[in-house]
């Protein structure tokens, strides 16, 4: 029995506590060395265009990652950085609603064929989502580092932003990179915020196709500000885009098309007006990788 005679009452409690703690086995004490390591999830931009547009920070994160998710075309660009890692398909637009892709050919697949394609696509999508949930959560729990890789700025019309919302509880970190917008600005070689009547720039999607009923950012409303408009093209057709633009802008409004931005050997810039652009572009179909600029900064 512990005697506290002769010890002031105010000192007895801490004295007893100290004696009791001293008698505890070492295993009962807090052991910080056994704390489970904390894993991390990153959404990593590898840049746009040529492979050397990747940032040093992105290279570092990929080198340190144990597991990598990415679309095949993205993975192929930096296969050397991904050697020896677990590699998985990231899908396109997982964990979010993606707008339907427009059909290129009016005489294309029948309604039944399109429905079957959608069904197979949804099945594959569900499988990829289930796989990603399992692998990512188990990996982070085990203290591993996971990277989801994407082109350009992943947060501007990027297909992989669904990972940020799906795994928000894991505090994912976005590693920024050179976007198609950055590369196209550089290709134009002029200040896009230095227009005659506006210092503002609006990033939006091309106006082709029917507008959603609940959209507030229609082309007509955006055009009222006379800000420079930069269109991410999303498989749109140039004649349709020009027709819609001429409903809000005069025919002498400058327009520029930057194709393959960020590729040193393939990059192309065409500057015209709404009245002349179709003639200058000719019948050749524009590549998937192109941005359209509209604004008086091009004068």
Q: If pLDDT is split at 50, 70 and 90, which confidence band does 15 have?
A: very low
Distance CA 196, CA 182 (A): 21
pLDDT above 60 (res 17)? no
The 10s digit of each residue's pLDDT in 120-136 is 889 999 999 999 999 99
d(CA 281, CA 292): 13
Please state the length of the chain.
299
Q: What is the pLDDT of residue 208?
A: 56
Report all structural domains of the chain as residue ranges with CATH numbers, in order of start.
Answer: 40-99+116-178 (3.40.1010.10), 181-210+217-298 (3.30.950.10)
Which comes out higher in pLDDT, residue 103 or 134? 134
> Contact, 55 vs 93, CB < 8 A?
no
Mean pLDDT of the chain, nearest integer: 86
Global confidence as pTM: 0.81
Contact between residue 183 and residue 48 where contact means Cβ atoms under 8 Å apart: yes
What is the model's pLDDT at position 113? Answer: 81
Q: Which long-range contacts (CB under 8 A, 24 or more apart) does 193-199 make?
A: 193/228, 193/297, 194/297, 195/227, 195/228, 195/295, 195/296, 195/297, 196/296, 196/297, 196/299, 197/226, 197/296, 198/225, 198/226, 198/227, 198/228, 198/295, 198/296
pLDDT at residue 67 tops 80: yes
């Amino acid at each position: 029995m512990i005697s506290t005679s002769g010890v002031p009452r105010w000192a007895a409690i801490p004295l007893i506590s100290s004696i009791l703690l001293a008698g505890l086995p070492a295993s009962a004490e807090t052991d910080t060395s056994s704390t489970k390591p904390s894993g991390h999830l990153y959404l990593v931009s590898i840049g746009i265009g040529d492979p050397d547009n990747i940032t040093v920070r992105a290279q570092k994160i990929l080198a340190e990652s144990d597991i990598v998710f990415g679309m095949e075309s993205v993975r192929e660009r930096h296969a050397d950085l991904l050697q020896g890692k677990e590699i998985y398909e990231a899908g396109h637009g997982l964990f979010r609603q993606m707008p339907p892709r427009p059909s290129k050919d009016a005489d294309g697949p029948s309604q039944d064929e399109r429905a079957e394609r959608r069904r197979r696509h949804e099945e594959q999508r569900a499988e990829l989502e289930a796989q990603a949930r399992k692998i990512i959560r188990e990996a982070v729990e085990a203290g591993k580092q996971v990277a989801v890789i994407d082109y350009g700025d992943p947060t501007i019309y990027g297909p992989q932003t669904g990972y940020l919302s799906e795994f928000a509880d894991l505090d994912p970190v976005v590693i920024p990179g050179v976007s198609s917008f950055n590369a196209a600005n550089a290709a134009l070689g002029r200040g896009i915020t230095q227009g005659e009547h506006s210092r503002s720039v609006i990033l939006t999607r091309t106006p082709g196709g029917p507008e959603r009923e609940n959209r507030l950012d229609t082309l007509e409303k955006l055009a009222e500000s006379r800000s420079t408009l930069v269109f991410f093209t999303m498989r749109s057709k140039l004649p349709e885009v020009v027709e819609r633009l001429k409903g809000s802008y005069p025919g002498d409004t400058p327009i520029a098309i930057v194709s393959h931005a960020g590729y040193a050997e393939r990059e192309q810039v065409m500057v015209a007006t709404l009245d002349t652009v179709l003639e200058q572009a000719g019948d050749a179909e524009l590549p998937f990788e192109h941005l359209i600029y509209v604004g008086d900064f091009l004068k």
